[in-house]
Amino acid sequence: MPEGGVFRSRDADLEAIELMTTLNPAQPSAQTSPFAAWRTRDILLAAVIGVVFGVVFAIWNGIYYGLQLAKPLPDALYGMWLVPAVLAPLLIRRPGAAVFAEMVAAGVSTLFGSPWGPDTLLSGFVQGAAAELVFAMAGYQRWSLPVLSVAAIASALGAFVHDWAIYYADVATDVQLLRLALMAVSAVVFAAFGSLAIERSLGRSGVLRGRSA
């Protein structure tokens, strides 16, 4: 039944310490408008989502190459690369989260030896910015599945244009459109549905407690 002694859950200890250490009056308080400045924990949350997905990308790159002979079917996996651009804003709900998290993920992936090298950063920016645009148009207020899906598709569209210019310049238009369709469907599955599923599980786990979401 009750747990004994001074050792309680780590969350409780951390909360206690947070109360003891109000060293940082510059930090805005929680539960403010989406346009309030980022708190340190928001920055760290977005950054760590980027880092986790940087690691996931390193694994995903391997799977994606393994299927190269089946081009363009592997593009049905493309959505994984767009998850941070939807997941981070969904959890943090502040302007800039999509671009920031996606670029951190791209940066980590670059240092880990992504084949696309520093071009990964450019992709990351395009993918993040396209999703960011959609969330901005929704005023950073609406986080329903349709909004997430549109953001995911916008991100896929950004990636598609970038890849066409740099990697698929000679590919016929009908195949290009097939790629776009695969990428868009994949984006909705991974980035929109996937982010919502992750948010639900994380919500149950309690690690999002004390956030606006």
Partner 1 sequence: MGAGIVLQDPASQLVMERVGDDVAFGLENLAWPLGTMRRRVPEALQSVGLAGFEERRSTRLSGGEQQRVAIAGVLAQAPGLLVLDEPTANLDPDGAAVVARILATLRDQRAATIVLVEHRASLAWPLADVVLALDQQGCPIAAGPPADVLRAARALERAGIWLPDDADGSQAPAQADKLGPVSRSHGTLPILELHDVRFAFEGGDPVLREVDLGVSPGDRVALMGPNGSGKTTLLRLAMGLLRPTAGEVQLGSRDPWRLAPAQIARLAGYVVQDPELGFLADTVREEVELGLDAEQLVFAHELCERLALPLESFADRSPYQLSGGEQRRLSLVTGLARRPLLLALDEPTYGQDRRGHEALVAALDELVEQGSAVLAATHDERFAQDATDRRIELAAGWIVGELGPRDGRAEYGIVVAGQGELETS
Partner 2 sequence: MTAGILIPDVGPIQRASVLGRVNPLVKLGIALAWLVGMGLTLDVRPPLILTLITLIAGLQLGGIAPTALARRIAPLWLAVLGIVLANLVFSAHNPDPLATELFRMGPLRVTQEAVDAAAGLGARVLSIISVGAVFALTTDATFLIDSLVQLGRVSPRFAYGTLAAYQAVPKLADDLGTLRATRRLRGLREWHPRLIVGMLVRAIRHADQLAIAMDARGFGSGPRSTYRPVRWQPLDAVVAIAALAILVAALVVSR
Assess 201 for contact with partner 1 (CB under 8 A): yes
Nearer to partner 2, 8 or 142 (CB): 8
Place of tokens 């979401």: 213
Nearer to partner 1, 142 or 200 (CB): 200
Assess 15 for contact with partner 1 (CB under 8 A): no
Longest dimension (CA), the chain: 69
Element (H, E) at 50: helix 40-66
As measured in angstroms, the least distance from the Cβ of 1 to partner 2 is 25
As measured in angstroms, the least distance from the Cβ of 177 to partner 1 is 39
As measured in angstroms, the least distance from the Cβ of 51 to partner 1 is 13
Indicate which of partner 2, partner 1, none lies near residue 40 (CB less than 5 to 8 Å, by partner kind). Answer: partner 2
Q: Report DSSP letters for 35-47, one per residue.
A: TSPPPHHHHHHHH
38-41 long-range contacts, CB within 8 A, separation 24+: 38/92, 38/94, 38/96
Query: Which residues have CB under 8 Å from 57's CB, separation 6+?
Result: 80, 81, 105, 108, 109, 112, 114
Angle between helices 97-111 and 40-66 (to 10 degrees): 50
Assess 68 for contact with partner 1 (CB under 8 A): no
Indicate which of partner 2, partner 1, none lies near residue 13 (CB less than 5 to 8 Å, by partner kind). Answer: partner 1
Indicate which of partner 1, partner 2, none lies near residue 3 (CB less than 5 to 8 Å, by partner kind). Answer: partner 1
Spatial separation of the C-alpha atoms in residues 205 and 37, rounded to whole Å: 26
Nearer to partner 1, 8 or 142 (CB): 8
Q: Which residues bind partner 1 (CB under 8 A)?
A: 1-10, 13-14, 17, 20-21, 23, 200-201, 204-207
